[in-house]
Amino acid sequence: MSGLYRARPEDGLAWVTGASSGIGRGTALELARRGFRVLATARSKEALDTLVIEAAALKGSIIARTVDVTDAALQKQVIDEVEASEGPIMLAFLNAGIYWPMRAHPFDAASFKKIFDVNVGGVVNGLEVMFDRMAARGRGQIAINASVAGYIGLPRAAAYSSSKAALIVMAESLKIETDALGITLQVVNPGFVKTPLTDKNDHPMPFLMELDDASRVICDGFARGGFEITFPWQLSRILKFLRLLPYETYFSLIRKATGYPPKR
Ligand SMILES: NC(=O)c1ccc[n+]([C@@H]2O[C@H](COP(=O)([O-])OP(=O)(O)OC[C@H]3O[C@@H](n4cnc5c(N)ncnc54)[C@H](OP(=O)(O)O)[C@@H]3O)[C@@H](O)[C@H]2O)c1
């Protein structure tokens, strides 16, 4: 249990980016179940409208706004408006992210940059909009959704793994300062969770978790505090262990485990 601030529903709003689908959607609903008023943002208006209706019977509530996380100016404008009418955002879950497999040959730089733009640029835009406000209030909680894929460079995930590694290292770098500002900074490192993002995968997904279970674990982690929220523990520990191995052993094990690249 961390001594740092942890947001409670009576303190203000929770904000979830990428809330139209998958982990963001599940977490927004779980926070509303726990009594939070939640601001849900994403680009798909229709999916957000459905989410608001689904939350109507819950203890808390969800309001939705369409925002692209890469549009820093629009996102700031939306946060200004929502805070003016609904009160301060005390918990921000910067979750929006994208993934598709990538290859070394042919290498697609535009596609690589797009993943960084959303996964890293989108989070950075969220941090900018929240840090000043939370620092001025002397408290707040921000959780960044990275991934266990950021622990190591997984095959066919050059952009995704490196974007998530960037988030983890960025959070480590900011943490000491945010503690001093009264802002609880957390990094969420999920393993495989069943969502539209992982439905695209054609490879085995060990310890795949159901969305509702993952959403509960994430919200428990918000309530508990501590720097890292990672699950399932089995996959997280295996990947953390692999990170410690000499590269020769590491690459040999990864080749065996993934069967990639296939033999010609
Ligand atoms: N599923 C997993 O196994 C897993 C594991 C580790 C980490 N993660 C991370 O968890 C996060 C959510 O993934 P997911 O599995 O829930 O995927 P998902 O179901 O595809 O959801 C992605 C969400 O991000 C939003 N999004 C994408 N681009 C956006 C943009 N430019 N601006 C605003 N919102 C945007 C999407 O909404 P719109 O399209 O409506 O904008 C959607 O709500 C990602 O950061 C992912 O890397 C997932």
Q: What is the DSSP string of 166-223?
A: HHHHHHHHHHHHHHHHTEEEEEEEE--B-SHHHHT--S--TT-B-HHHHHHHHHHHHH
**How far is 49 from 63, CA to CA, in rounded Å?**
9
**Is the model's pLDDT at 102 over the cut of 80?**
yes
> CB under 8 Å to 181, separation ≥6 — which residues?
131, 134, 135, 138
Quote the ligand 1 centre to 229 CA distance (angstroms): 17
Give, as one character, the DSSP assignment of residue 127: H
Residue type, 9: P
How high does pLDDT run on average in the chain?
Answer: 96
Out of 160, 247, 250, 260, pick the active-site residue: 160
Give, as one character, the DSSP assignment of residue 118: I
Q: Is 247 a residue of the active site?
A: no
- What's the pLDDT score for residue 130? 98
**Is the model's pLDDT at 85 over the cut of 70?**
yes
Confirm or reject: Cβ of 126 under 6 Å from ligand 1: no
Angle, to 10 degrees, between the axis of helix 22-33 and the axis of helix 45-54? 30
> Can you read off the two tokens belonging to residue 111?
């596609």
- What's the pLDDT score for residue 263? 72
Cite the beta strand spans of the chain per DSSP E.
13-17, 37-42, 61-66, 89-94, 140-145, 183-190, 228-231
- What's the pLDDT score for residue 90? 98
* Residue 261 binned pLDDT confidence (cut-offs 50, 70, 90): confident
- What's the pLDDT score for residue 260? 82
More confident residue, 200 or 85: 85
The tens digit of pLDDT for each residue in 191-211 reads 999 999 998 888 889 999 999
The tens digit of pLDDT for each residue in 248-258 reads 999 999 999 88
- What's the pLDDT score for residue 259? 84
- What's the pLDDT score for residue 202? 83
Confirm or reject: Cβ of 44 under 6 Å from ligand 1: yes
Kindly report the pTM of this predicted structure.
0.97
Closest by Cα among 208, 204, 200 to 235 = 208
Q: Taking the domains of the chain in order of start, what are their residue ranges?
A: 9-258
Fold topology of 9-258: Rossmann fold (3.40.50)
- Express as a percent the part of the chain with pLDDT over 90: 94
**How far is 234 from 226, CA to CA, in rounded Å?**
19
Local structure of 261: helix, strand or coil: coil
**How far is 230 from 119, CA to CA, in rounded Å?**
18
Phi, psi of 152 (to 5 degrees): -140, 165
* Residue 142 binned pLDDT confidence (cut-offs 50, 70, 90): very high
**Is the model's pLDDT at 235 over the cut of 70?**
yes
Quote the ligand 1 centre to 119 CA distance (angstroms): 9
Closest by Cα among 98, 15, 116 to 63 = 15
**Is the model's pLDDT at 1 over the cut of 60?**
no
